[in-house]
Structures are given as structure tokens and as C-alpha cells.
Amino acid sequence: MASTRPIRLLLVDDHFVVRSGIAASLALEDDLQIAGEANDADEALISYAKHKPDVVIMDLQMGKTSGIDATANICKDHPGARILIFSSFARDEDIYRSLRAGALGYLQKAAPREDLLQAIRTVAAGKRYLPSDIGQRLADRLSRPEPSPREQEVLSLIAQGHSNKEIAAQLGLSEDTVKRHVSNVLDKLGVQDRTQAVTEALRRGLLDI
């Protein structure tokens, strides 16, 4: 006979009103139970050890320590942790880093309530949950090589509006070398020009400007 024990949840969000709203909504479900709440990454780690929840619903942006770092810390101390990132943001890099940190799922806060319930139950079962559009974007991202650290430096300077000559002077490289780096960046981002490169890098979370 299947267990009737509810799925115990730990809510981690630094906005009390948001956290309370989520808790009130989820408390309406017979198979869900709020085991604890946390305001930041440090509280999340302490609360996880205290309550041993089945699923952690983790915000992404929380002051000094991000939800990604909090996820990594919890998974380090508790390898079996099942964490769902529930964020207002959906940058490809944030999603990628969240999954690398150990999260099993990622959902935007703008998603319908039914999607949140499905995500919680999927993650509670130990399965990965990603909306189809995010899953496709992540697959596309993983299929392409990442810019190297040097190429990332060049990309940042491109975003600041520097020419190849100026980039070469700042990095101590020849213009020909910079041109090769720019060509590699365009190829890895799958774009045709520098403007598209900046736009795509911002979308994927490779740049913050």
C-alpha cells in the first residue's frame, strides 16, 4: 500500500510576504506540508538539518548568498537533498548552474500554480523537472562549447564597446589574436555579429551589465 505521508517542504525566500503566500497556497493541498521556512542561505542549511524536508523550494536571489550557493551547500552536507529552484529569473546560465549545484528542478514564479504543484511532486519522487521550453534551451546550451576564460574577457570588453585594437591593448594581445577570439565567441554563441553576441550572452547569463 502506498504511503499517505505528506510531502514535507522547506521554503527558502528572503521576502516574507512571498514566502507566506507560497506557504498559504501549498497548505491547501492534502499531500503537502510546510515543514519549515528560511530567510537566507544560512538559515536554509540549519533548517534543512533540523527538519529533513522531502523538497526544498529555493529562491535564487537572496542577498549575499545566492540560491545556487545555498543549493550547493545543502547538497554537500546532505547528498540526498531534493531541491526545486523557484525564481523570478530564467537566465540559461542560472538554470545551468542551479542544476550543476544539485537542484533537481527549476521553475519560474510566474508559472501557474498547477505547474508548481507538478514540479514539487516530480522532484519529491526524485525526478528532474524543467518546463519544456527551458529544457530545450538547456539542451541547446549544453550542445555548444563554452567560451574560454580569455574569450569571456574579450566578450566582456566587446559588451563595453571596445574595438579589437582597444581589446588587444588592454589584454596585451595582438589584433590578429583578438580577431580569432572574437570569431570563436561568435561561433560558440551561434551568432553573426558583435551586437548579437552581447544580446545572446546577456540572455544566457554570461554577461552582467
Q: pLDDT tens across 140-186, in order?
A: 666 677 889 999 999 999 999 999 999 999 999 999 999 999 999 99
Any idea how long the chain is? Answer: 209
**Residues 49-108: tens digit of each pLDDT:** 999 999 999 999 887 788 999 999 999 999 999 999 999 877 777 888 898 899 999 999
Quick one: pLDDT band at residue 111, thresholds 50, 70, 90? Answer: very high
Strand partners, 34: 9
Structural domains in the chain plus CATH codes: 7-141 (3.40.50.2300), 145-204 (1.10.10.10)
Angle at which helices 113-124 and 16-26 pack, to 10 degrees? 80
Angle made by CA atoms 130, 136, 142, in degrees to the nearest 5: 100
**Amino acid identity at 205:** G
The pTM score is 0.70
